């Protein structure tokens, strides 16, 4: 099962030695074994005293330079589970940014082994970001802020872009000017995964909601996660996950953290598409085979000896058949994921239609009442606020205090309509 997957990019000024030094530091901390950066790559297979193991596959004679590290360790708390952490590194040319991809997954011996409930992120990523020069291609390098409506308008284009392939986390302040999440900790957990947007205290949240759309904004301490747009049946659907202040406070009253709740939600949706960008051991092996085939083909053309080239080509064909079988399994898995998200889209679309019907009905009643009492002017000052309260209620944003305001309005309307 995939637990976590992401990629970061480092500037081409970053030395490979810096990356390998960081990886060896991470491995040394986990295994408590001495690991020396200068000889690190010379041991393709290595076992450690705690029972964990490391496999290194690389091709770095010519560009592209590609490396794969697979670290396997047993779960110290759950018998029958192994944790597999893969790190991929790729640089196409000397001028290219360096991609570092990460994949964490578990391997259980049977269905009797309980699946892990908590998403985990290798702290190696934080170390690489701290020690190396991070490229602009990396998502979530810093916390972006919304100070005014011009900032919101600029961000709206990013939110609605069909090219966006990463989530956006919008964090709003409470009415007291506090945030219900540690923004720096959230940034640390989601760098390489999502952009974090902070609505500044005092910003016009109603104006921002008007620009983003109420379902795509957040206020009164809420946190809204906006996932990449899904296009289905020529209809675009933007999935969201809204954490209301009440839910955040529930999490804060447990041993869980809001930051990990957000990470879990993002990983659930983004693990599969992010894993497509991962530099796997199989990808490195394929690059090595291709390089060997190219060299042998060139040698065969020069000498006329084709036997060895044909034998290697047949081996390559057999390996690709094995790879194709693995791809078919992956396709079946992705088809299941696609069916899940398609079903989720249909349900959300139907809910949206029902909500719209409710909104239209309530606003119709409101307009009828306003017309029938226009001479008395009873709703002249409160109709817009009542509309806001109804929208807030239907979209799940309403606070307990605002709920009382809505009930008060509706009671006043009911009393006046029967008087």
116 and 6 in one domain? yes
Pair 19, 61 in one domain? yes
Number of helical (H) and strand (E) elements in the chain, helices listed first: 11, 13
In a structure prediction context, what are the per-residue pLDDT tens digits for the chain, which is 419 residues long? 899 999 999 999 999 999 999 999 999 999 999 999 889 999 999 999 999 999 999 999 899 999 999 999 999 899 999 999 999 999 999 999 999 999 999 999 998 998 887 788 999 999 999 999 999 999 999 999 999 999 999 999 999 999 999 999 999 999 999 999 999 999 999 999 999 999 999 999 889 999 998 889 998 999 999 999 988 777 888 999 999 999 999 999 987 899 999 999 999 999 989 999 999 999 999 899 888 877 777 777 777 776 666 676 667 777 777 777 776 666 666 666 665 555 565 556 666 566 666 666 665 655 655 555 554 444 444 556 676 677 666 656 666 666 677 777 777 766 665 55
**Collapsed DSSP state (helix, strand, coil) of residue 276:** coil
CA separation for the pair 158, 218 (Å, rounded): 16
Examine residue 136 and state whether it is found in any structural domain, yes or no: no
Among 99, 131, 163, identify where a domain stops. 131
Element (H, E) at 108: strand 98-108
Cα–Cα nearest to 37, from 24, 48, 19 = 24
Task: Please report, for the domain that includes residue 120, its CATH number.
Answer: 3.30.2030
Tell me what pLDDT residue 379 has: 44
pLDDT for 397 equals 60
Per-residue model confidence (pLDDT) at position 331: 65
Decide if 305 is inside a domain: yes
Q: What is the CATH number of the domain that holds 236?
A: 3.40.30
Residues 6+ apart with CB under 8 A from 361: none
Q: Which residues contact 169 (CB under 8 A, 6 or more apart)?
A: 186, 190, 194, 195, 196, 197, 223, 224, 225, 226, 262, 266
Beta strands in 60-97 (DSSP E): 65-74, 81-91
Looking at the structure, tell me whether residues 323 and 357 fall in a common domain: no
What does the pLDDT read at residue 341?
Answer: 59
Confirm whether 265 is domain-assigned. no
| Same domain? 302 vs 244 | no
pLDDT score, position 117: 78
Residues 172 and 120 reside in one and the same domain? no
Question: Looking at the domain assignment, is residue 26 inside a domain?
Answer: yes
Total domains in the fold of the chain? 4
Sign (positive/negative) of CA torsion 247, 252, 255, 257? positive
Q: Give the distance from CA 222 to its chain's centroid.
A: 19
> What is the structure's pLDDT at 302?
72
Instruction: State whether 117 and 159 are in the same domain.
Output: no
Residues 151 and 250 in one domain: yes
State residue 320's pLDDT score: 73
Tell whether 184 and 288 lie within a shared domain. Answer: no
Establish if 7 belongs to a structural domain. Answer: yes
In a domain, 273, yes or no: no
**Does residue 267 lie within any of the structural domains?**
no
Tell me, yes or no, whether 18 and 115 share the same domain: yes
Considering the domain architecture, whether residues 26 and 87 belong to the same structural domain is answered as yes
Residue ending a domain, choose from 110, 131, 152: 131
pLDDT, position 392: 67
Q: What are phi and psi of 68, to 5 degrees?
A: -135, 130
Four-point Cα dihedral 392, 393, 394, 395, nearest 10 = 50
Q: Could you tell me the residue range of the domain that residue 14 belongs to?
A: 2-131
Which of 76, 107, 131 is at the close of a domain? Answer: 131
Residues 309 and 207 in one domain: no
In a domain, 262, yes or no: no
Q: Are residues 94 and 30 in the same domain?
A: yes
- Per DSSP, what are the bridge partners of residue 107? 82
Instruction: Report the DSSP beta bridge partners of residue 224.
Output: 170, 242
């Amino acid at each position: 099962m995939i637990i976590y997957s992401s990629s970061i990019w480092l500037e081409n000024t970053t030395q490979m030695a810096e990356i390998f030094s960081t990886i060896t530091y991470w491995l040394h901390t986990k295994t408590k074994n001495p690991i020396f950066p200068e000889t690190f790559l010379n041991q393709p297979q290595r076992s450690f005293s705690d029972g964990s193991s490391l496999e290194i596959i690389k091709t770095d004679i010519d560009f592209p330079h590609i490396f794969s590290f697979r670290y396997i360790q047993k779960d110290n708390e759950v018998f029958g589970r192994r944790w597999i952490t893969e790190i991929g590194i790729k640089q196409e040319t000397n001028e290219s940014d360096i991609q570092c991809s990460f994949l964490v997954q578990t391997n259980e011996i049977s269905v009797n082994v309980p699946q892990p409930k908590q998403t985990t992120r290798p702290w190696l990523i934080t170390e690489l970001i701290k020690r190396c020069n991070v490229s602009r291609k990396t998502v979530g390098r810093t916390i972006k802020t919304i100070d005014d409506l011009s900032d919101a308008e600029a961000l709206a284009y990013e939110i609605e872009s069909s090219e966006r392939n990463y989530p956006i986390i919008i964090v709003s302040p409470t009415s007291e000017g506090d945030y219900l999440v540690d923004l720096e900790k959230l940034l640390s957990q989601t760098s390489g995964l999502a952009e974090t947007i902070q609505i500044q205290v005092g910003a016009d949240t109603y104006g921002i909601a008007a620009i983003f759309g109420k379902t795509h904004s957040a206020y009164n301490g809420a946190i809204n996660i906006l996932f990449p747009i899904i296009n289905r049946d020529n209809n675009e659907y933007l999935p969201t996950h809204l954490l209301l202040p009440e839910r955040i406070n529930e999490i804060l009253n447990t041993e869980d953290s809001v930051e990990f709740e957000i990470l879990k939600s993002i990983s659930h949706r983004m693990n599969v598409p992010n894993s497509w960008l991962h530099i796997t051991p199989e990808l490195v092996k394929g690059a090595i085979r291709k390089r060997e085939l190219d060299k042998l083909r060139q040698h065969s053309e020069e000498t006329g000896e084709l036997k060895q080239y044909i034998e290697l080509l047949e081996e390559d064909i057999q390996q690709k058949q094995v790879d194709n079988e693995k791809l078919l399994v992956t396709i079946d898995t992705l088809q299941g994921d696609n069916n899940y998200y398609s079903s989720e889209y249909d349900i959300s679309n139907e809910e949206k239609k029902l909500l719209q019907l409710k909104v239209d009905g309530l606003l119709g009643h409101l307009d009828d009442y306003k017309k029938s009492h226009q001479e008395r002017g009873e709703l002249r000052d409160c109709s817009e606020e009542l509309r806001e309260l109804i929208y807030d209620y239907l979209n799940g944003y309403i606070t307990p205090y605002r709920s009382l305001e809505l009930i008060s309005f509706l009671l006043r309307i009911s009393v006046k309509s029967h008087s």
